[in-house]
Amino acid sequence: MGMIILLVYIGAIIIVIKCLLEISRQFSGGMLNPINIVYGIIIMLLIYSLIVLSYYREKKSWALSPVFRFPTYMIYIPYLILVLARNLIGLNLTQVYDSLLISIAAAGLFMVVFHGYVFGILGKLGKDKHY
């Protein structure tokens, strides 16, 4: 199980670094709109709140669920939406793309800085765990 968790984390780290590099490239080029930063943080906080709400409503949770649920919903799915919308659909929604980039980068930083509140959420909510 440890190898699977490691692969999930390595993939999430690669995506976050890729997004951070893209954000820094846009920032240095003067192409980053400040309102997109606000939208990105709001998206990240909304996703986090929905995940916490889902845990709050569950009676009993799998003990390793936060390890998979947070990276999946906060990093992998937004990145998949970003890549699919940008490459396959070909729409020009730069404000949405930039907001998703910032959301993914903010989620990665949030998971590192507030590790106890992200991956220890079951203990903070006092939920029963099963293994």
pLDDT digits (tens, 9 = 90+) for 6-60: 899 999 999 999 999 999 998 888 888 889 899 999 999 999 999 888 888 887 7
What is the average pLDDT across 91-111? 86
Report H helices in 58-91: 65-71, 77-83
Range of the domain at 94: 2-130
What is the pLDDT at residue 116?
A: 75
Mean pLDDT of the chain: 85
Number of domains in the chain: 1
The residue with greater pLDDT, 114 or 15, is 15
At 130 the pLDDT is 65
Q: Give the pLDDT confidence score for residue 88 in this predicted structure.
A: 73
Q: Say if CB 108 and CB 73 are below 8 A apart.
A: no
Give, as one character, the DSSP assignment of residue 29.
Answer: T
CA distances to 9, 99, 127 from 42, in Å = 23, 9, 26
Instruction: Give the type of residue at 33.
Output: N
pTM of model > 0.95: no
**Whether 92 contacts 27, CB under 8 Å:** no
Share of the chain above pLDDT 90, in %: 38
Alpha-carbon gap, residue 123 to 117, rounded angstroms: 9
Task: Report phi then psi at 91, rounded to 5.
Answer: -75, 150
> What backbone torsions phi and psi does residue 128 show, to the nearest 5 degrees?
-75, 140
The whole-angstrom separation of Cα 48 and Cα 118 is 9
pLDDT at 31: 82
Q: What's the pLDDT at 115?
A: 76
- Measured between alpha carbons, how far is 107 from 2 in angstroms, rounded to an integer? 22
For residues 106 and 75, give the distance between their C-alpha atoms in angstroms, rounded to a whole number. Answer: 10
